[in-house]
Structure formats: structure tokens, C-alpha cells
């Protein structure tokens, strides 16, 4: 099993209501884990992962009130949530793989806030991490179809030089 497969499995096990090996609810660092799920209103949030070579992209979505955006420290809160998700994924992938999986931050968090009403907004945060221990893998692998297309252009240009 590769680190990418272990990270993908760790993300798949992080669904809402997911439990660890002992049957305890998972503690990832999401807003939905806060408070009593019967008495308190539910927070809608979750995350998704994508892979491109040795780069892991985490996308976090949440539904929050507008005053939380303008209340201050919103971007720091998104950074904290992303760090918590990356820490969970790294730890869980290490348990699955049997060896350490490191994630190092590649950039700052990018946050897009969209209005859903005068009170609530939908925020989407995105952050990229480099997966450690993956030798010989480029973050931007070449696309075979693009290489074939370039070869076609070269043959066309070469054929036109004799006119």
C-alpha cells in the first residue's frame, strides 16, 4: 500500500458518525463535533481530498453565520481546521500503512465565502500539502494525450517547411 492509498482510506473513514477501532467517535477538528448533537443545532461541514502526484489538496466546506466571517480571526480559524484535518489524515494513514506519513504545507489557505442569505454564508477553504516519502513522483505529471498532440504539431510544422 502506498501513502496515497493510505491517505485516501483515512479520508474515506472520516465520514460523519465515523468511529475509531474502539467505537469512539472520531475527533478530526470539525465544527460538527462540537456540542450535543441532540440539543444543539447541527453544523454543516466536511472535507474532501484530491491527489495530483505528490500533492494532497484538502477542500473544507462549512455553513456559518456572516458575523463569524467579520468577527475576526476567520482566516486563522480556517488554517486551524485545515491543520487539524491534515494531522488526522497523517495520523490515521500512519496507522493504516504502518509507517509515518508526513504532510508539509505548500501554501496559505484559500477561502471563498458565498452568501446564501442575509445571515448565513457558505465558506469553502482549500489548502495544498506535499506528501513526504514519495520519491520519483512529480507534482505535475505529463499528460500523454498532450504529448501526442504536440508531436502531431511538430510533424505538421516540419512538413510545411518545404513549401
137: confidence class by pLDDT, cuts 50, 70, 90: low
Q: What is the DSSP string of 26-57?
A: P--S-GGGSS-TTTSPPP-EEEEEEEETTEEE
pLDDT in the model for residue 10: 81
In percent, the amount of the chain with pLDDT more than 70 equals 79
* pLDDT tens-digit series, residues 17-58: 666 778 776 777 676 666 665 555 556 788 899 998 889 999
Which residue, among 2, 32, 1, has the nearest Cα to 15 in the 3D structure? 32
pLDDT in the model for residue 13: 76
Name which of 3-7, 39-43, 58-62 the model is least confident about. Answer: 39-43
Q: What is the average per-residue pLDDT within 83-94?
A: 90
How far apart are alpha carbons 144 and 142 in whole angstroms? Answer: 6
Long-range contacts from 71-74, C-beta under 8 angstroms, 24+ separation: 74/111
pLDDT in the model for residue 111: 92
Name which of 24-38, 70-84, 140-154 the model is least confident about. Answer: 24-38
Looking at every residue in the chain, the average pLDDT score rounds to: 81
Q: Three-state SS across 56-86?
A: EEEEEEEEEEHHHHHCCCHHHHHHHHHHHHH
Q: Are 89 and 115 in contact (CB under 8 A)?
A: no
How many CA atoms does the CB half-sphere of 110 hold within 13 Å? 9
Name which of 69-73, 104-108, 136-140, 154-158 the model is least confident about. Answer: 136-140
pLDDT in the model for residue 46: 81
Amino acid at each position: 500500500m502506498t501513502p496515497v492509498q493510505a491517505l485516501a482510506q483515512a479520508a474515506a473513514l472520516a465520514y460523519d458518525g465515523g468511529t475509531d477501532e474502539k467505537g469512539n467517535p472520531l475527533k478530526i477538528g470539525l465544527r460538527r463535533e462540537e456540542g450535543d448533537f441532540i440539543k444543539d443545532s447541527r453544523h454543516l461541514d466536511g472535507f474532501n481530498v484530491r491527489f495530483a502526484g505528490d500533492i494532497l489538496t484538502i477542500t473544507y466546506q462549512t455553513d456559518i453565520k456572516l458575523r463569524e466571517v467579520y468577527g475576526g480571526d476567520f482566516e486563522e480559524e480556517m488554517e486551524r481546521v485545515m491543520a487539524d484535518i491534515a494531522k488526522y489524515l497523517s495520523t490515521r494513514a500512519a496507522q493504516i500503512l504502518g509507517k509515518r506519513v508526513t504532510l508539509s504545507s505548500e501554501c496559505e489557505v484559500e477561502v471563498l465565502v458565498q452568501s446564501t442569505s442575509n445571515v448565513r454564508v457558505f465558506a469553502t477553504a482549500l489548502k495544498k500539502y506535499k506528501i513526504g516519502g514519495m520519491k520519483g513522483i512529480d507534482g505535475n505529471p505529463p499528460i500523454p494525450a498532450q504529448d501526442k498532440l504536440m508531436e502531431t504539431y511538430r510533424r505538421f510544422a516540419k512538413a510545411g517547411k518545404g513549401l
